[in-house]
Chain A
Amino acid sequence: MSEDIAALIADVDEERTLAAVASALDAGTDPLLLVEALRHGMSSVGERFEAREYFLPDLILSADIFNQATALIEPRLEGGSGPSRGGVVIGTVQGDIHDIGKNIVATMLRCSGYDVHDLGVDVPPAAFVGKVKETGAGLVAMSGLLTFAFDSMKETVQAFADAGLRDSVKMMIGGGPVNETVLDYCGADAYGKDPSEAIRLAGALIDAALPLGSQTRSRPT
């Protein structure tokens, strides 16, 4: 059953995924197993996206299916949706209000099991710092579409250094014009070209389970 659900959401089949989840719940399947199956399927979606078999619409639609499915499951979960993979504070940096990419990454992170604290758009550096202090999140994800965002990202990284938190927090950036040059400029730890890569990087940065790839860097000293 779980394998079917993983395959169905991986195929972005909304109707059959939701029907399978409802059926499994009625049959008494452990809700945590269903959540895990959905996450497994979402992981396959990410792999197909990286292989350019899937595109942005597939990410958006599969995340929407995931959210609908977990809404069905949540009432049956007594102890939450399983262990968190860690906390992520995410936002579009100060001076920029573009949120499509940020919202997709936030949703994909939630689908992957992270506790996501979304600060929205036009987020000042102090707000990122404050949220990390409040939640203890280990990863900050900054988004920006405008070239103005480069300076805001740099100021946010500096704000964490000024607060004495830079060594305890990983920071990644993303958005249309972001690349290696921008990463060097703002002093974050990694950048992601697309939502799927952001998820992979989050795993590498938080879990340290994967070797850091070519798009991560040592923290500046």
Chain B
Amino acid sequence: MKMTKRLFENDTMTAEERLQAVINLQVPDRVPSSPFIYYFAAKYAGITVHELWSERKRYLAAIDKCFDELGPWDAYYPVNPRYPEIYTLIMPMKARWPGIDLPPDSICQLLETEVMKAEDYAWVSEMAGKWGRLSYVGFFLRMIARAWDHIDEGFGAFTYAVPRMVHHLAGWRLEFDSWRRRGVTTLYGFLPEVAFDSFSLARGLMPFVKDCRVRPEEVARAAEDLTEGYYFITRVICALMGIPRAQLFLHRSSNDFLSPKMFNELAFPSLKSLVDRLVAAGIQVVLHCDGNWDLNLEKLRELPAGNCIVEFDGPSNIFLAKEVIGDRMCIMGDVPPDMLCLASVSEVDEYCHRLIEEVGKGGGYIMASGCEVPPNARPENVRAMLGSVTKYGYYGTKPREQSPIPEPHTMPT
């Protein structure tokens, strides 16, 4: 389904054309936006987080309320798991869930436990050799069974997880189509945590740090061996979702967790293998780079140019990133969470203006929050962030106030 609707009267591109332009490092009509909104939507809509994740219609209504009242935005940022266990198929950790283990209006909290054992690196490499393109499934079925007491290993995990994943993906597909009808594109069709970082999450930080000292080759090899499985599942799900873009979470590869040497030697090879293969298959990549990446930026230049978005969450120097990788990669972010919670509207407006002027110079930039819009962000600050792209973000035209073009839409059911 081709997108035709434009979001604002001064727009000369659709949201998808705009997103493609910035990924390709071309100058779009204006800076696009793609805020990571999940828990914030619950608070803003006056529902609990438990209601947000367990009642799909309420989730959709809450996101719509944010879009209609604080947006619009150009690219929908999908992070809503239909089942808590689906979360574990991305981040292999035990978790506490609102409405299950936590009060209904808490947010999900991940636990640092050893879901994965040291001997599992050897198992991963052996399993990947046998399972090949299904090795992602093999790895995560073992992890999900260890993270949830009610899920059995092996066939039990398969029969539990796969139907739920299919149900989840069907819901996503309907959502994405609905957004497309509204003139909004979707940022990605799948969002795996890369293998190296998955190991860090599944082992727990302390054991993983020791693994990187005691058995570095084994860790790096296991991550590399999973590339085929990651590539295959990502390609399949992106095709099913109709979105030829994948987000790769990199929660544990920043300089906050790894030295540049460890990143270069242990984490980067498997990351590069995966990105190269995805790009060669026509799938663009969003690198979700949490933490401080300043010392890793130069290495990122080895990834394919004009096909990657690098998303920062605040600790990295996004202005330095523009200098170092701006000629090869689109940059996204990074209005910091504390600013969205505590700063004034004028401070947010000023920072967003600077982002657009400096990081958005010549294109190649997406306005976004630094990682997730925090649940206790001030709504007026979120509105200021999203509004900055029409206030300051048009290329070659003077900033002017405009209203989004209203159009009722039908929510997917």
What's the minimum C-beta distance from B10 to chain A, rounded to whole angstroms? 34
1/0 per position for A41-85, CB-CB distance to B under 8 A? 000000000001011111011001000000000000000000000
| CA gap between A32 and B192 in the complex, in Å | 50
**Cβ of B159: which chain A residues have Cβ within 8 Å of it?**
none
Q: Are A57 and B262 in contact (CB under 8 A)?
A: yes
With A52-B295, A56-B256, A147-B375 already in contact, the answer to whether A181 and B109 are too (CB < 8 A) is no
Q: Are B337 and A61 in contact (CB under 8 A)?
A: no
What's the minimum C-beta distance from B337 to chain A, rounded to whole angstroms? 5
- A197 sits at the interface (CB 8 A): no
Among B111, B112, B342, which residue has the most Cβ atoms of chain A within 10 A?
B342
- B258 sits at the interface (CB 8 A): yes
- A161 sits at the interface (CB 8 A): no
Q: Are B259 and A55 in contact (CB under 8 A)?
A: yes
**Cβ of B375: which chain A residues have Cβ within 8 Å of it?**
147-148
- B26 sits at the interface (CB 8 A): no
Identify which of residues 92-111 in chain A touch chain B, using a CB-to-CB cut-off of 8 Å. 95-100
Q: Are B376 and A147 in contact (CB under 8 A)?
A: yes
1/0 per position for B252-271, CB-CB distance to A under 8 A? 00011111001000000000
With A57-B258, A147-B338, A148-B107 already in contact, the answer to whether A99 and B206 are too (CB < 8 A) is no
| CA gap between A61 and B207 in the complex, in Å | 10
A12: nearest chain-B partner, CB-CB: B213
- A114 sits at the interface (CB 8 A): no
Query: How many residues on chain A are close to B (CB under 8 Å)?
Result: 27
What's the minimum C-beta distance from A9 to chain B, rounded to whole angstroms? 15
Question: How many cross-chain pairs have Cβ atoms below 8 Å apart between A and B?
Answer: 69
Q: Are A55 and B258 in contact (CB under 8 A)?
A: yes
Q: Are A182 and B213 in contact (CB under 8 A)?
A: no
- A211 sits at the interface (CB 8 A): no
Q: Are B111 and A150 in contact (CB under 8 A)?
A: no
Q: Are B341 and A147 in contact (CB under 8 A)?
A: yes
| CA gap between A172 and B311 in the complex, in Å | 30
| CA gap between A178 and B255 in the complex, in Å | 17
Identify which of residues 333-351 in chain B touch chain A, using a CB-to-CB cut-off of 8 Å. 336-339, 341-343
Which positions in B face A, CB cutoff 8 Å? 96, 106-107, 109, 111-112, 205-206, 209-210, 212-213, 255-259, 262, 295, 314-315, 336-339, 341-343, 374-377
Which positions in A face B, CB cutoff 8 Å? 52, 54-58, 60-61, 64, 95-100, 146-148, 150-151, 176-179, 181-182, 185
**Other contacts beyond A99-B112, A177-B336, A185-B342: 10, CB < 8 A:** A52-B255, A52-B295, A55-B255, A56-B257, A98-B109, A147-B376, A148-B107, A148-B376, A176-B315, A178-B338
